[in-house]
Structure 1
């Protein structure tokens, strides 16, 4: 009886909410308008005079919107599909944002259903959200929409000077064809864009280069003005959340600059840069006889039949496929709906079981590249179980001590093994040493720390990167061509969320480390490459 009553109450609440969502609110003079402010406001207390008519847009400007609707979003979606239920509307529809600069449509995006949440769609007619919030980047779906706009033309459209920015909001549904409603809110703002500061290089000083264990200052020349301008741009947030830029030329310190509160001693969270360390340790484990070769399969190390979704094909997955991200596991970190997406792994209490329970998809994945963090974690777990004493002690003795790296921190998986999914922390110069080890073909201070054949195999075009023509993947190293001054330079590199990089340039005897904390932001990797092509390479070449 209790469950029947509970279900009736839920049904009654749903009907009332649906009827409320259809009901039009009493239109006010603000209905259909978007107000702009430089900070968050309580939307029902905002005064008309608080609405900005113009503002200066620098790299440190915050910009918030207050949206006033004549009726709820659910009501507008209901107009597009009157036969659909309340729950159905929230699953197939949302806001469409259109970004215009000087009356030209620059970018249009249909927000993914679910953000804002269904209850907000059904009840809210007024809301305030950030487009830009420099102190809390990536916190809201509205910020993601702005970042996509900037990535897809906004950055080019908002040149230095005065522009008229407009934002239009419409409802949309996909049933399955796309249906778009009329404009339900709009606003415009005059922007005086000043994102590139005036730089007087004579007022800027580069940091003095001092010796570091196993590294000495370089005497090679470079264009100091180019690096001074880069330094000014990082300080002014033209390049955002960068914490260090370090370059080694011929194994010596050429550049060393720190930003945003970091220093030579800071341990940087470089996220997936740590994946490359799994490749290094695999090569060492093969050299030392703990693993026979990269052709060994999961069946050599695990009782695969004891896990879910068993198949002979899963048992035959090779270590090489985990290192080249080309296994047939149904896991893709770029697909939020993928069962093997890394975000599904982290909450579990046994990451290895999570990995080995995953199904294979031999139709979608025919040994082509797809970004699969869980597979790299599984590789590290395999190393941890076959190496006496575990992976962390082995890494310390065989890799870090020979490189004179003494201050670092692993992140650990629930099974207490170091997480090769990413997240190892050390300072920028120690990361540069790691890159230099590869530039030296595995040698350090006259000793062969890593087999040269393994270095060559790791830094090779093992597999094309899907949907990135001309880019390749080695053994947990990325590869692409950079262009500067009419010349091309090939680099292998480690890469991590936030814009973290270790670049190893093939023909320049040059290693560059960039650390940053722009986690989850679409500009992070693009700005690191821009720093390389527009400042570092021109300065050195």
Structure 2
């Protein structure tokens, strides 16, 4: 066995000398079985999730055909845990603190060329003190929610897809530990590596997969006779069929109030109820406007203390009393909550496991660095509070009120709410409906609140909603209204400004400001790094050029 290990260390030249110089900080699982011991320093490629106790060396892949949708996993066989590897780099940092400062560094090579390197976020991974081998998928057909899948997607987006052209390529992955010490990021020696031949074949597509889809009867919309650049739409359809544009489920275009395009992909059809996640937040904005119009809520300048006795909740301050409805509509309240910061006490991920989401929100403290109304910071919990305010203010319940005042007038009869733990319609997101019904919602705003001659929502509320109140930090020329986003596309030198709803996965409803155009895109690329950028690409390069000629 000693001879076998020495042979493998020659084949997989991983440096362990450095890691033997400092005593381990924690006790690990060690070598979990002889296969692990025999392959220390190797990253094995596997076709599926094979338990370690059933795994054989004959299961290790040397080649793999990487299809648009496939299942490929890796299993690193390590000599130590990440905690101990980091301890070698920073011996003075305690165990519980060290794992918040570092993790594994992955490097991806194609045909010997470094394509992408990532210092994995410290929150990703398994039991960092003890784990010495683990399996993670890097591609999946099962929708597995793993950090490694997201990382591999980032590799593809940032050069990997361009490098993996048709043919056979050598993919190599290297692992090292890294630690961020503030002024310095230290990277350790190689701890594992593996390579595999990837076979890339572009699938043959049928004419039916590429062609503009004919609109079937009984859509409920008058059909448009406006011109469409079919070549642009066919090229988009080709990329969707090849999974170059991933997990897109529908595209609907309404021009001059008429149905121009209706396309479905990835097993979706006209009857599919799409989970568009935070697109549902914009419905909360609509319901607030209707409730104000009917006098159930005075106006959006009302403050939280008019709806709650905030002294009954934790972290009371007069600053909390003065948060206005419009601060929550504009994502500009001073609550100590930010969905863009996992360390924030009010991050939505900390809300979901709790028994009472409203109490979670009202218990939050206020951020000393924020002034309500002055800055934009995405805050899902605030929209949950808006939903609760609506639910307690309108007749019966928010769910029944929305059905009577919004959905029924639009002829929307098939939809599904998600609910909070208190069984209130969830305004944070998850409202499911068909693509054509989402188009009705968008077109209501395009019509300035009117539908079939009836003023469902006041024109004044639409105007307030479609006002650029605050810039989006880190984005050029992008703004936020009342739970609607704003941006401008430039096509052939001409600007097209749009307000839009957006949800995790890439789903969007676009309402264009100066042209009679409403566009719905639904997608289920949840938490994937390409979810929103690929929809921007679709709009910029295919959909808008095809329909604004």
> What residue number does 1:57 align with?
66
State the 1:202 CA deviation.
7.6
Match of 1:116 among 108, 125, 139: 125
- Residues 24 and 160 of structure 1: CA distance in aligned 2, closer, same or farther (over 3 Å): closer
Q: Following superposition of structure 1 onto structure 2, how do residues 394-473 of structure 1 map, counting pairs within 5 Å?
A: 394-473=401-480
Match of 1:240 among 239, 246, 260: 246
> What residue number does 1:254 align with?
260
Q: Distance in 2 between matches of 1:93 and 1:213?
A: 54
Q: Distance in 1 between matches of 2:281 and 2:204?
A: 39
> What residue number does 1:67 align with?
76
Q: Deviations over 1:320-364 (max 9, x none)?
A: 110000000011111112111112222222222111111110315
Farther-moved stretch of structure 1 (300-309 vs 203-212): 203-212
Q: Deviations over 1:274-314 (max 9, x none)?
A: 10011111111221122222111112222122221111111
Q: Distance in 2 between matches of 1:455 and 1:60?
A: 42
> What residue number does 1:278 align with?
284
Would you say the 8 A contact 1:210–1:217 is kept in 2?
Answer: no
> What residue number does 1:4 align with?
none
Farther-moved stretch of structure 1 (17-26 vs 157-166): 17-26
- Residues 28 and 254 of structure 1: CA distance in aligned 2, closer, same or farther (over 3 Å): same
State the 1:481 CA deviation.
1.7
Structure 2 unmatched ranges of 5 or more:
1-22
Farther-moved stretch of structure 1 (372-381 vs 441-450): 441-450
Question: What is the SS of the residue equivalent to 1:483?
Answer: strand
Match of 1:522 among 521, 529, 533: 529
State the 1:420 CA deviation.
1.0
Q: Following superposition of structure 1 onto structure 2, how do residues 42-441 of structure 1 map, counting pairs within 5 Å?
A: 42=51, 51-118=60-127, 121-124=129-132, 126-138=133-145, 140-159=146-165, 163-176=169-182, 177-194=184-201, 197=203, 201=207, 204-212=210-218, 214-364=220-370, 367-441=374-448
Farther-moved stretch of structure 1 (164-173 vs 462-471): 164-173
State the 1:431 CA deviation.
0.5
TM-score if structure 1 supplies the norm length? 0.88
Would you say the 8 A contact 1:245–1:255 is kept in 2?
Answer: yes
State the 1:414 CA deviation.
2.5
Question: What is the SS of the residue equivalent to 1:396?
Answer: helix
Would you say the 8 A contact 1:38–1:61 is kept in 2?
Answer: no
Farther-moved stretch of structure 1 (364-373 vs 160-169): 160-169
Q: Distance in 2 between matches of 1:235 and 1:22?
A: 45
> What residue number does 2:541 align with?
534
- Residues 381 and 103 of structure 1: CA distance in aligned 2, closer, same or farther (over 3 Å): same
Question: What is the SS of the residue equivalent to 1:431?
Answer: helix
TM-score if structure 2 supplies the norm length? 0.87
- Residues 349 and 200 of structure 1: CA distance in aligned 2, closer, same or farther (over 3 Å): closer
Residues matched between the structures, number: 523
State the 1:45 CA deviation.
6.2
Match of 2:481 among 460, 474, 477: 474
State the 1:209 CA deviation.
1.7
Question: What is the SS of the residue equivalent to 1:535?
Answer: helix
Question: What is the SS of the residue equivalent to 1:381?
Answer: helix
Would you say the 8 A contact 2:277–2:504 is kept in 1?
Answer: yes
Structure 1 unmatched ranges of 5 or more:
1-14
- Residues 136 and 417 of structure 1: CA distance in aligned 2, closer, same or farther (over 3 Å): closer
Would you say the 8 A contact 1:24–1:71 is kept in 2?
Answer: no
Would you say the 8 A contact 2:167–2:199 is kept in 1?
Answer: yes
State the 1:147 CA deviation.
2.6
Would you say the 8 A contact 2:24–2:84 is kept in 1?
Answer: no
- Residues 278 and 203 of structure 1: CA distance in aligned 2, closer, same or farther (over 3 Å): closer
